[in-house]
C-alpha cells in the first residue's frame, strides 16, 4: 500500500522509519533508497521538495531535537521517481558517508510541505503487490514506522513499515589510503591606516606591515592605496619587487623619486603576505573506529630568518615528517605559508606550501578512519627576532631604519624585555643582575641598564648602557637545559654614580628564528655604598 502526503498536516508532519545497526563496529551510510507512488498533479505547486534526514532514537521513538550531521538531503519533485508497482527507486545520496554507531537504533524522517507526495509502505495482512493471494504475514525486524502529528511527537504504527534500501560504504582493506590536506589560499591583508612612507628625492617606498613573512626579491601586490608623495594611486598599486625587509615592514623602489616626505596611503591598503612560523599545532577532528588506524605527516616550505642564510628559502620538503594532531611540533628552522602568487613563482604553478598527509588503513570493509575537513585547523607560531647591525656583515640583518639599543626611547631590535623603572629607598652604586636562560648556539642576548640619581634627569630620557657578562657560558641545543648568567654592574666595589632609580633591558637575538633564547628568573640586587 501507499501513504498519501507523507503524513502531511499543515506542513509539519513527517513520517519516520526506524532501523537498527547490528554491525559490531558500526558502518558508514552513503545513501537511502525510497519508493514513491506519485508526486504532483498538473495543477499542483511543483516547487516543493521532499527531504530526508536521520535522527537518533531515544526510548523507542525518534528524537525531535537532534539530526545526525550531514544527513539532510533534498529532492525536487522532478528528481523523484514514481511507479504504480513500487519498483522505481529514488536515491537520497549524502554529501559524505555518515558514520552510524553499532548496536544503535536510528530513524530516517521523510518530510514535504505538500499533500501531493505518496510513498510505498507495507501493511500487515495486506495483499502483496502483483500477487493474487500472498499477503504480508510478518513485520521485518529492522524497525517500525512512525507518524507525527506535530513534527515532534511520534507514534509507532506496529503493522506498517516503509519500503526502503540502505546503502553502506565498502572500504578497501589492502594498502593504506593517503589523504592530503593543504593550506588555503592566503588573501591580501588589510594594513593599518596610512602604512606607506615616502622620502623626498628618494625612489624608495616603505610599507609598514609587521610580521609580513616576505623576503627580499619577492614580488608583491598592493591595492587600495591612495596617492602619496607625488606618486599616483595607480603607480603605488600593483606589483613591486621588495628590496629590503625587517620585522616592521618592507621596502620597494619606484621608477621616479618622491616629491615630498609623506606618510599616508589611506584606510584600505592591502598587501600580499606570507605566514612565517616555526611552531606547529594541528587540530584535526578525526574518527578512528576499532580495527582501523590513521597516522599523520607534515611537509612544509623553508623560510628564512632575517639574520640567517638564504640557501633553503622556498624549498618545499619532499618527505613528510611524523606528527601527532593535538601535540605541538617544534621545527629546527623557519617555515612559510606562501601566498598563491609567491608559491606559483617559487615552488610550482598551483602548488601549496604546507601539506598534512593522513595515512588511513582498515581491516574491516564496513568502517574506515575519517577526518572532518570542516573542523581542521593549524595554529602556527612565529618568533619575532633578528640580529641587527647598521652595516652589512655575516650573521646580521640591516633594518629599514636602524636605531641602537642604547637610545633612550627606542631601539630597532625585534625582541626585547624592558623592566619598569625601580625606585630605591636609599642610594646605590652598583647592581648585581642574575638570570636563568636557555641559549641555543644560534641565539644570544644582551643586558642593558640605566640609572638616575635623586632629583636628577628623568630616567626615561637617559640612554642605556650595555653590560658585559661576568664569564662566557656555553650554549645548549637541549631545550631543557638552563644556565645562570651573572652581571656585576659597577664592579666589585660599586663604581657607578650614586643612583636611586634603575631600569634593565634584555635584548634577544638569533640567526635562526626557530632557535631563540628563553629567559626566566630575572633578578636584580642594588648594591649600596
pLDDT tens figures, 320-355 = 999 999 999 999 999 999 999 999 999 999 999 999
The CB density around residue 4, as the number of other CB atoms within 10 Å, is 13
Q: Which helix (H) or strand (E) segment is 425 a member of? A: strand 422-428
Nine-digit cell at 347? 615552488
Quick one: pLDDT at residue 114? 78
Lowest mean pLDDT among 76-85, 144-153, 374-383, 429-438: 144-153
pLDDT tens figures, 127-142 = 666 655 555 555 666 7
Residue 199 binned pLDDT confidence (cut-offs 50, 70, 90): very high
Asked if pLDDT for residue 10 goes beyond 50, the answer is: no
Quick one: pLDDT at residue 127? 61
- The number of angstroms, rounded, from the C-alpha of 206 to the middle of its chain's C-alpha atoms is 30
Quick one: pLDDT at residue 9? 41
pTM for this model (two decimals): 0.81
Quick one: pLDDT at residue 226? 96
CA–CA dist 81, 61 (Å, integer): 29
Quick one: pLDDT at residue 468? 84
Quick check: helix, strand or coil at residue 343?
Answer: helix
Q: What is the 3-state secondary structure (H, E, C) of 148-216?
A: ECCCCCEEEECCEEECEEEEECCCCCCCCEEEEEECCCCCCEECCCCCEEECECCCEEEEECCCCCCCC
Q: Could you give the residue ranges of the DSSP H alpha helices within 224-363?
A: 233-236, 340-346
Quick one: pLDDT at residue 139? 60
Residue written as grid cell 625582541 = 415
Mean pLDDT of the residues in the chain:
90
Asked if pLDDT for residue 440 goes beyond 60, the answer is: yes
Task: Select from 501, 214, 179 the least CA-distant residue to 369.
Answer: 179
pLDDT tens figures, 266-313 = 999 999 999 999 999 999 999 899 999 999 999 999 999 999 876 689
Domains and CATH numbers, the chain: 2-168 (2.60.120), 189-271 (2.40.30.20), 275-366+373-381 (no CATH), 415-527 (2.60.120.200)
Residue written as grid cell 634577544 = 508
Amino acid at each position: 500500500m501507499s501513504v498519501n502526503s507523507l503524513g502531511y498536516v499543515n506542513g509539519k508532519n513527517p513520517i519516520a522509519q526506524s532501523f537498527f545497526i547490528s554491525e559490531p563496529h558500526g558502518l558508514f551510510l552513503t545513501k537511502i533508497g525510497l519508493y514513491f507512488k506519485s508526486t504532483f498533479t498538473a495543477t499542483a505547486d511543483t516547487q516543493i521538495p521532499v527531504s530526508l534526514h536521520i535522527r537518533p532514537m531515544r526510548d523507542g521513538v525518534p528524537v525531535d531535537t537532534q539530526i545526525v550531521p550531514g544527513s539532510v538531503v533534498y529532492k525536487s519533485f522532478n528528481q523523484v521517481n514514481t511507479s504504480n508497482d513500487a519498483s522505481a527507486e529514488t536515491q537520497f545520496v549524502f554529501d559524505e558517508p555518515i558514520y552510524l554507531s553499532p548496536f544503535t537504533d536510528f530513524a530516517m524522517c521523510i518530510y514535504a510541505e505538500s499533500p501531493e507526495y505518496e510513498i510505498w509502505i507495507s501493511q500487515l495482512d495486506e495483499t502483496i503487490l502483483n500477487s493474487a493471494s500472498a499477503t504480508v504475514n510478518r513485520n521485518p525486524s529492522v524497525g517500525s514506522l512512525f507518524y507525527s502529528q506535530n513534527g515532534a511527537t511520534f507514534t509507532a504504527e506496529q503493522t506498517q513499515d516503509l519500503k526502503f534500501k540502505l546503502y553502506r560504504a565498502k572500504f578497501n582493506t589492502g594498502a593504506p589510503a593517503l589523504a592530503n590536506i593543504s593550506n588555503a589560499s592566503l588573501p591580501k591583508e588589510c594594513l593599518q591606516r596610512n602604512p606607506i612612507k615616502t622620502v623626498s628625492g628618494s625612489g624608495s617606498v616603505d610599507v609598514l606591515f609587521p610580521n609580513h613573512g616576505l623576503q627580499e626579491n619577492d614580488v608583491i601586490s598592493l591595492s587600495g592605496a591612495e596617492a602619496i608623495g607625488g606618486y599616483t594611486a595607480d603607480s603605488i598599486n600593483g606589483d613591486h619587487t621588495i628590496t629590503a625587509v625587517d620585522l616592521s615592514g618592507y621596502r620597494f623602489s619606484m621608477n621616479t623619486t618622491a616629491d615630498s616626505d609623506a606618510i599616508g596611503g589611506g584606510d584600505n591598503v592591502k598587501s600580499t603576505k606570507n605566514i612565517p612560523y616555526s611552531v606547529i599545532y594541528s587540530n584535526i577532528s578525526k574518527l578512528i573506529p576499532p580495527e582501523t588506524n590513521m597516522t599523520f605527516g607534515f611537509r612544509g616550505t623553508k623560510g628564512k630568518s632575517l639574520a640567517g642564510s638564504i640557501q633553503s628559502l622556498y624549498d618545499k620538503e619532499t618527505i613528510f615528517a611524523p606528527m601527532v594532531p593535538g601535540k605541538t611540533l617544534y621545527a629546527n628552522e623557519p617555515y612559510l605559508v606562501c601566498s598563491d602568487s609567491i608559491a606559483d613563482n617559487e615552488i610550482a604553478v598551483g602548488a601549496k606550501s604546507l601539506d598534512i598527509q593522513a595515512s588511513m588503513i582498515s581491516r574491516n570493509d564496513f568502517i574506515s578512519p575519517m577526518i572532518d575537513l570542516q573542523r581542521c585547523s593549524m595554529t602556527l607560531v612565529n618568533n619575532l627576532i633578528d640580529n641587527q647591525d647598521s652595516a652589512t656583515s655575516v650573521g646580521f640583518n640591516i633594518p629599514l631604519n636602524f636605531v641602537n639599543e642604547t637610545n633612550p626611547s627606542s631601539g630597532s631590535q625585534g625582541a626585547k624585555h624592558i623592566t619598569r623603572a625601580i625606585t630605591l629607598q636609599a642610594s646605590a652604586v652598583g647592581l648585581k643582575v642574575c638570570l636563568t636562560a636557555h641559549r641555543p648556539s644560534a641565539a644570544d642576548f644582551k643586558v642593558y641598564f640605566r640609572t638616575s640619581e635623586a632629583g636628577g634627569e628623568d630616567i626615561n630620557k637617559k640612554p642605556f648602557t650595555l653590560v658585559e657578562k661576568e664569564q662566557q657560558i656555553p650554549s645548549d641545543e637541549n631545550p631543557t637545559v638552563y644556565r645562570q648568567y651573572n652581571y656585576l654592574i659597577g664592579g666589585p666595589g660599586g663604581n657607578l654614580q650614586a643612583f636611586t632609580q634603575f631600569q634593565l633591558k634584555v635584548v634577544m637575538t638569533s640567526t635562526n628564528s626557530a632557535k631563540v633564547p628563553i629567559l626566566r628568573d630575572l633578578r636584580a640586587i642594588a648594591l649600596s655604598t
